[in-house]
Amino acid sequence: MATAGYNLEPVLLGDRELAQISALVRTKAGITLTPAKRPLIIARLQKRLRRLKLSSYGDYMKVLEADTSGEELTSFLDALTTNHTYFFREEQHFELLAATVVPELRRTDHGRPLRMWCAACSSGQEPYTIAMTLADMTDPPAFTMLASDLSTRVLEKAASGVYRMEDVRGLPLDVLRRHFERGVGEQDGLARVSAALRRNITYRQINLLEQGPGGQPFDVIFCRNVMIYFETDVQQRVVTMLERHLAPGGYLFVSHSESLNSVSHGLKWIAPAAYRKPLNG
């Protein structure tokens, strides 16, 4: 098929522009992109250059610098941040949540709803897994949950609660029946998380390097599979912020591939990749 007005060949990414892009990603998202990531950067940003009809990455950097709205910066970070997740990932944490964490919190919560924050929620599988875990307890607790991510693209998907059937096929049949609605007609091949689960979750864009969520501290924070992309100094900033937003006696979950051993904090290790803030903290 002939094309007019477009060069579909990849635009070359020079060393200077690569350094500029890498510096901006590290400043805004805390992620270090090495020169080995050049092919990934080109693959991810080609669409932006074509949409803006730009012929060089230098021109694209000028667009980013002149973007006072922040919209193009959001698109830039959306393109370069990785979002991979699935339901009940590292399921031991959800077992610990139901068997130990919630019962312990209930001893001191004075009957109020639990406050939870899923701080790197990606496309929603993690916050919905948390919600399913709580709903399936013998005596389900009342809770509110904030789910946040840097990427507005994945937040939109998460808030919709709609997934392909292959994304939920590994879930037990009874879980699917309780917590999902199967699409029919034009929605065939899709499944949607039930309204009962969706109504307790609020989605919001939050950059963990620039701000916290504000408001009341949280009883439980999940921040998993994001700090693996950060160098130690950035990890320290994020952990300090998370600890500040934990209520006394609150719990922090990180990924099993992550460790807090290299950063300073006042949290107590309670299980692999699970920590608790002292009650007098």
Check residue 281 and give its pLDDT.
Answer: 60
What is the DSSP annotation of 33-53?
Answer: --GGGHHHHHHHHHHHHHHTT
Whole-number Å distance between alpha carbons of 111 and 143: 11
Is the pLDDT score of 2 beyond 70? no
Alpha-carbon 223 to chain mean position: 8
The answer to whether the beta carbons of residues 155 and 203 sit under 8 Å apart is yes
Q: What top-level class would CATH report for the domain 15-80? A: mainly alpha
The average confidence (pLDDT) of the chain is: 89
Q: Which amino acid is at 168?
A: V
Q: Catalytic residue among 38, 44, 153, 178, which?
A: 44
Question: In this structure, are strands 274-276 and 268-271 parallel, antiparallel, or unpaired?
Answer: antiparallel
Task: Categorize the per-residue pLDDT at 78 as very low, low, confident or very high, splitting at 50, 70 and 90.
Answer: confident
The proportion of the chain whose per-residue pLDDT surpasses 90, expressed as a percent, equals 55
- Long-range contact pairs involving 106-112 (C-beta distance under 8 Å, separation at least 24): 106/141, 108/249, 108/279, 109/219, 112/142
Q: Catalytic residue among 149, 198, 219, 276, which?
A: 149
Query: Tens digit of pLDDT for each residue in 123-170?
Result: 999 999 999 999 999 999 999 999 999 888 899 999 999 999 999 988
Whole-number Å distance between alpha carbons of 134 and 179: 12
Query: Tens digit of pLDDT for each residue in 40-65?
Result: 888 888 888 988 998 899 999 999 98
Check residue 3 and give its pLDDT.
Answer: 38
Is the pLDDT score of 82 beyond 80? no
Query: Tens digit of pLDDT for each residue in 220-246?
Result: 999 998 888 888 999 999 999 999 999
Domain limits, the chain = 15-80, 92-161+195-276
What is the DSSP annotation of 61-115?
Answer: HHHHHH-SSSHHHHHHHHHHS-----TTTTTHHHHHIIIIIHHHHHTTSTTPPEE
Query: Tens digit of pLDDT for each residue in 164-222?
Result: 999 998 899 999 999 999 988 888 999 999 999 999 999 999 999 887 898 899 999 99
Q: Answer yes or no: 44 catalytic.
A: yes
Whole-number Å distance between alpha carbons of 151 and 89: 20
The torsion angle over the Cα atoms of residues 207, 152, 221 and 223, rounded to 10 degrees, is -70
Check residue 6 and give its pLDDT.
Answer: 44
How many other CB atoms sit within 10 Å of the CB of residue 148? 23
Is the pLDDT score of 10 beyond 80? no
Query: Tens digit of pLDDT for each residue in 84-130?
Result: 788 999 999 999 999 999 999 998 877 799 999 999 999 999 999 99
Domain 92-161+195-276 has CATH 3.40.50.300: no
Check residue 83 and give its pLDDT.
Answer: 67
Average pLDDT over residues 6-11: 59
Q: What is the pTM of this model?
A: 0.81
The token duo for 38 is 């050049």
CA geometry: angle 222, 146, 213, nearest 5 deg = 90
3-state secondary structure of 123: coil
The answer to whether the beta carbons of residues 57 and 17 sit under 8 Å apart is yes
Q: What is the DSSP-derived secondary structure letter of residue 193?
A: E
Check residue 264 and give its pLDDT.
Answer: 96
The answer to whether the beta carbons of residues 125 and 143 sit under 8 Å apart is no
